[in-house]
């Protein structure tokens, strides 16, 4: 592809610049000038630069659409500006000395609809945007690129590294003891043995208690002269009280039966006397 662009650059240069490529060069000159007008003068240079860039750089398929769109926008905007600079030519001969047919399409319709004073700034903005697209530069990075071109590197904020904390130092202030306390402390007692900081103090090992099996309780053995326990006494007292209550109930029941018989007999005798008196 790079060699093809270089070959086209040689043919266009011979036809446009020197008019020395014979009939083919003559037709090339007419066709190029009819399409891009005065831009035909810059066409051989643009083709050579594009061919050299392709030969010296690695192929990037993902960047090709961006490069094509950027170059197309810049070229159309430049041809439109050339058309406006040629005072809006109408004939093909006049357009060949201005922006050509593409310049008429890019700038002629804008000038007819918005006048030349509005169309020119718009075409300049389109040309600048095409450069940004071609170079892959976001709009927010334009000031930084200008500062870099001017030799002023953007100031980078340097972060201060935190100072390493010294071992054994704390932010807590120790309270100074009073003079009386200093006088009361014995210097021999003030010196304390230093404990090792690397290893924690070992904890004392406590012996585990050994479980002891509980012995079964022995049953008390009754003897002849031993007093019975309280539970047995309560059982015996309960049986005696039930016996006494049952005996008292039978006596009361017999007494009631006797009284009832006596009253019944007296009633029979009184009734018999009443019947005899009536007779």
* Nearest CA among 99, 12, 82, 22 for reference residue 47: 12
CA dihedral sign, ordered 129, 135, 140, 143:
negative
Residue with more model confidence, 168 or 3 = 3
Distances (CA, A) of 210 to 25, 164, 195, 205, 214: 116, 53, 35, 15, 13
Residues making up the chain, counted from first to last: 279
- Segment 32-53, tens digit of pLDDT: 999 999 888 999 998 899 888 8
201 within 8 A of 195, measured Cβ to Cβ:
yes
pLDDT bucket at 226, cuts 50 / 70 / 90: low
* Nearest CA among 137, 121, 126 for reference residue 67: 137
Q: Does pTM top 0.95 for this prediction? A: no
- The pLDDT mean for the chain works out to 75
CA dihedral sign, ordered 254, 258, 263, 268:
positive
Location of structure tokens 């060069």 = 25
Task: Give Rg (Cα) of the chain.
Answer: 65
Distances (CA, A) of 257 to 48, 120, 263: 154, 148, 10
**pLDDT score, position 53:** 83
The whole-angstrom distance between residue 49's C-alpha and the CA centroid of its chain comes to 48
- What residues contact 13, with CB distance under 8 A and at least 6 apart? 44
- Residue 137, Cβ neighbours under 10 Å: how many? 13
CA–CA distance, 93 with 76 (Å, rounded to integer)? 20
Tokens of 10: 């040689």
Average pLDDT in the 78-82 region?
93
What angle (nearest 5°) sits at the alpha carbon of residue 155, between those of residues 152 and 156? Answer: 140
pLDDT bucket at 166, cuts 50 / 70 / 90: very low
* Nearest CA among 113, 39, 41 for reference residue 77: 39
**pLDDT score, position 157:** 45
Q: Treating both helix axes as pointing N-terminal to C-terminal, what angle do 43-56 and 2-16 enclose, rounded to 10 degrees?
A: 160
Location of structure tokens 């006049």 = 94
């Amino acid at each position: 592809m790079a060699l093809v662009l270089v070959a086209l650059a040689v043919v266009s240069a011979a036809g446009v610049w020197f008019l020395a490529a014979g009939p083919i060069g003559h037709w090339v000159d007419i066709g190029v000038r009819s399409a891009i007008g005065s831009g035909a003068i810059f066409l051989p240079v643009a083709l050579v630069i594009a061919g050299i860039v392709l030969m010296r750089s690695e192929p990037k398929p993902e960047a090709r659409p961006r490069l094509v769109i950027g170059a197309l926008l810049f070229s159309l905007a430049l041809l439109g500006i050339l058309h406006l600079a040629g005072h809006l030519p109408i004939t093909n001969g006049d357009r060949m000395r201005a922006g050509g047919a593409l310049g008429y399409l890019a700038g002629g319709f804008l000038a007819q609809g918005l006048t030349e004073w509005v169309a020119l700034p718009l075409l300049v903005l389109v040309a600048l945007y095409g450069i940004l697209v071609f170079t892959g530069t976001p709009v927010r990075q334009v000031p930084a690129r200008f500062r870099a071109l001017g030799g002023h590197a953007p100031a980078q904020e340097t972060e201060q590294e935190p100072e390493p904390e010294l071992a054994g130092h704390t932010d807590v202030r120790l309270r100074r003891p009073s003079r009386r306390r200093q006088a009361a402390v014995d210097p021999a007692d003030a010196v304390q043995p230093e404990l090792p900081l690397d290893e924690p103090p070992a904890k004392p090992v406590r012996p585990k208690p050994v479980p002891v099996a509980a012995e079964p309780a022995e049953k008390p053995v009754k003897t002849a002269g031993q007093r019975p326990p309280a539970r047995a006494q309560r059982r015996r007292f309960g049986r005696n009280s039930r016996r006494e209550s049952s005996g008292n109930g039978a006596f009361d029941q017999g007494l009631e039966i006797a009284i009832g018989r006596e009253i019944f007999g007296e009633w029979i005798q009184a009734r018999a006397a009443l019947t005899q008196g009536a007779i």
